[in-house]
């Protein structure tokens, strides 16, 4: 994968899309799991946003691996890299449960008797995937910021002449 886009490192560009899309997907999945009216209104939107997030995860890790070869190695960078590898299973779960919830809701319009307990079970699993995904994204983002800004002192005020 290329390392830059018109001279800008590709990883931060893709990561910014990822850190917007995944929490947005998680929010819509959560709302669909706990609010039936939102579930009916949103339709396939939570699954679609989750799919976009799922696609962005390997792009983020791939560009991160490319960038990693061009920056100084550190313990913080290693921690960030290891955490990033743990996001894909959470995103797969978020997508699967959001798609399953949509499919159950779509099929239940015919009045299937198993729809209610199935919806409840999938909703609980979707909530677990939402929490796991959101926590993992926050941890990865924090460790990436620490790694990127480790050599700066953001707490000191600029010197005045």
Convert 51-72 to b/e letters by CB count within 10 Å (16 or more is b).
bbbbebbebbbebbebbbeeee
pLDDT at 151: 67
Residues 6+ apart with CB under 8 A from 49: 21, 24, 25, 28, 29
8 A C-beta contact, residue 133 and residue 90: yes
pLDDT at 8: 74
CA atoms within 13 Å, Cβ hemisphere of 44: 6
Q: Which residue's entry shows tokens 């239940």?
A: 108
Mean pLDDT of 103-123: 80
Confidence of residue 81 (pLDDT cuts 50, 70, 90): confident
pLDDT in tens, 117-147: 898 999 999 999 999 999 999 999 888 888 7
* Residue 63 clears pLDDT 90, i.e. is over it: no
Span of 94-103, 117-126, 150-159 with lowest mean pLDDT: 150-159
* Residue 110 clears pLDDT 70, i.e. is over it: no
Mean pLDDT, the chain, rounded, equals 86
Q: Which domains does the chain have, with CATH numbers?
A: 4-149 (1.20.120.230)
Backbone angles phi, psi at 86, to 5 degrees: -85, 0
pLDDT in tens, 1-45: 666 677 777 888 899 999 999 999 999 999 999 999 999 999 999
Mean pLDDT of 49-73: 86
Span of 45-59, 83-97, 102-116 with lowest mean pLDDT: 102-116
Confidence of residue 69 (pLDDT cuts 50, 70, 90): confident
């Amino acid at each position: 994968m290329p390392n830059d886009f018109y001279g800008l490192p590709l990883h931060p560009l893709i990561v910014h899309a990822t850190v917007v899309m995944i929490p947005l997907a998680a929010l819509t999945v959560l709302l669909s799991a706990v609010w039936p009216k939102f579930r009916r209104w949103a339709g396939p939107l939570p699954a679609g946003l989750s799919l976009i997030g799922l696609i962005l995860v390997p792009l983020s890790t791939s560009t991160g691996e490319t960038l990693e070869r061009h920056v100084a190695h550190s313990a913080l960078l290693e921690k960030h890299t290891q955490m990033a590898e743990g996001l894909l299973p959470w995103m797969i779960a978020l997508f699967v449960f959001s798609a399953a919830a949509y499919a159950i809701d779509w099929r239940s319009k015919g009045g299937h008797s198993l729809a209610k307990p199935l919806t409840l079970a999938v909703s609980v699993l979707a909530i677990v995937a939402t929490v796991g995904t959101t926590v993992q994204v926050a941890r990865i983002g924090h460790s990436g910021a620490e790694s990127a800004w480790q050599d700066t002192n953001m707490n000191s005020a600029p010197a005045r002449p």
